Amino acid sequence: MGLFSNNSSKGTITEEQVRAVLSKIEDPDLHRDIVSLGFVKDVAISGTDVRVVIQLTTPACPVKDQMKAAAEGYIRQLGATAVDVQMTAQVVGGTRGGGMLPGVKNTIAVASGKGGVGKSTVAVNLAVALAQEGSRVGMIDADIYGPSAPLMFGLAGQHPRLYSNEKGERKFEPLVAHGVQVMSIGFLVDPEQPVIWRGPMASGALKQFMSDVDWGDLDYLIFDMPPGTGDIQLTLTQSIPLTGAVIVTTPQDIALEDARKGLKMFERVQVPVLGIIENMSYFIAPDTGARYDIFSHGGGAKAAEKMNVPFLGEIPLIMEMRIGSDEGVPYVVRNPESEEAGNIRKIARALAAQVSIANMGGAQQPIQIILGNDQ
């Protein structure tokens, strides 16, 4: 009998026993066990050898390793001598892109109530971190008047290919950097010239980035929004059913007040807020190791608690993150083994968890993690 064949002899471990013990494992975000959620996709048994396939809702699941360890432990309690738990993922989506973005499972707006809080660098690093976790990710630079994606992704001076698809439609092929598909007005206009357009023209450009770009199949499409609550925000929320929004703020009162306005705007247009990130949260002096709360500290967490939305984490002020943005190498690529890059990936996982919760009808849960600076 071959290892992991489905033909088990009498008296050996049964599939029913395996599923019973795995039902003791609860998804901490969805508050149901992994068997009833349908995560256990395959159980193969040969005597006391057991193989299990567990399929999660995102490759960026923040508790993937804990679930695997728990599954192995419970199966060994049945007397299994060889245990193989394979963790896979299929991102959950609610056809959020609609007719305009048919292959996109989830659409996420990264926004801020005001400029200067580092939203773009946070958006870029979150997109790259999700791609590093194994997700298919795209990003639209929705800041038509101040596009930053070409520089931050190291794509300045490049132009997307325009071609005709099998239906005869003219489509742009998004540029790719660090595992992320990217589209920006900065690829189409002279970078030395300002974009002097009225609101309807800017809104039209955003719509074209959704309808006239071949995004293919994506797990997450990130929109790096311009600051404020104007035409672009309304165009996006009226064009497609957004999965949710992330609010980036800094700790000081004026930024938090603007963040609250941004959150209220998304609430009014019925877009769930997936969480708040506090950027430039503190600074660690490299020469002394002393910590400085330059812009105060903790305001993002307090605002999240007050507004009853998840707090996704803090981002310390890091000079290398600014350098990476200028050089076109996001921090999670430039310093992948650093503690700060690990924290960025934790925030990306927390965001992915909130997306899964939104798609599977669960209640948002408070989360706390940490990050780095921006431009």
| 366 inside domain | no
- Band the pLDDT of 120: cuts 50, 70, 90: very high
Residues 6+ apart with CB under 8 A from 329: 154, 178
Give the domain extent around 154. Answer: 107-359
Q: How many CB atoms lie within 10 A of CB 360?
A: 15
CATH, residue 82: 3.30.300.130
Cα within 13 Å of Cα(27), Cβ side: 27
Residues 275 and 168 in one domain: yes
Domain assignment present for residue 253? The answer is yes
Instruction: State whether 71 and 126 are in the same domain.
Output: no
The values of phi and psi at residue 341, to 5°, are -65, -40
C-alpha span between 152 and 34 (Å, rounded): 39
Residues 76 and 111 in one domain: no
Q: How far apart are CA 94 and CA 85, in angstroms?
A: 28
What's the whole-number mean pLDDT along residues 52-67? 93
**Are the C-beta atoms of residues 174 and 159 closer than 8 Å to each other?**
no
Q: What is the CATH number of the domain that holds 175?
A: 3.40.50.300
Q: Cα–Cα distance between 53 and 84 in angstroms, integer?
A: 8
Give 214-225 pLDDT, tens digit per residue: 999 999 999 999
Across the strands, what pairs with 229? none
How many structural domains is the chain composed of?
A: 2
User: Which 3 state secondary structure label does DSSP give 217?
Assistant: coil
Compute the average pLDDT of residues 57-73. Answer: 93
- Residue 272 within any structural domain of the chain: yes
On whether both 62 and 143 belong to a single domain, the answer is no
- What DSSP string describes 297-354? SSHHHHHHHHHT--EEEE--B-HHHHHHHHHT--HHHHSTTSHHHHHHHHHHHHHHHH
- Cross-strand pairs, 350: none
- Could you tell me if 204 and 342 lie in one domain? yes
Whole-angstrom distance, CA of residue 235 vs CA of residue 260: 20
* 181 or 260: which leads in pLDDT: 181
Domain co-membership, 72 together with 201: no
Tell me which H or E stretch contains 122. Answer: helix 119-132
Instruction: Give the per-residue pLDDT at 369.
Output: 32
Residue 136 shares a structural domain with residue 234: yes
d(CA 193, CA 323): 24
Confidence category of residue 282, pLDDT binned at 50, 70, 90: confident
Helix (H) or strand (E) holding 305: helix 299-307
Query: Residue 364: inside a domain, yes or no?
Result: no
Residue 365, domain member (yes or no): no
Residues 64 and 134 in one domain: no
Residue 44 reports pLDDT greater than 70? yes
Instruction: Say if 240 falls within a structural domain.
Output: yes
66 and 136 belong to one structural domain: no
CB distance 266 to 294 below 8 Å: no
Q: Is residue 339 part of a domain?
A: yes
Q: Give domain status of residue 8, yes or no.
A: no
pLDDT exceeds 50 at position 114 = yes
Same-domain check for residues 183 and 261: yes
Are 85 and 112 found together in one domain?
no
Tell me the three state secondary structure of residue 181.
strand
* Band of pLDDT at residue 370, cut at 50, 70 and 90: very low
pLDDT at 242 over 50: yes
If asked whether residues 122 and 78 sit together in one domain, one would say no
Please report which confidence band the pLDDT of residue 312 belongs to, taking 50, 70 and 90 as the band edges.
very high
Question: Average pLDDT over the chain, rounded to whole?
Answer: 87
The stretch 125-135 carries a mean pLDDT of 97
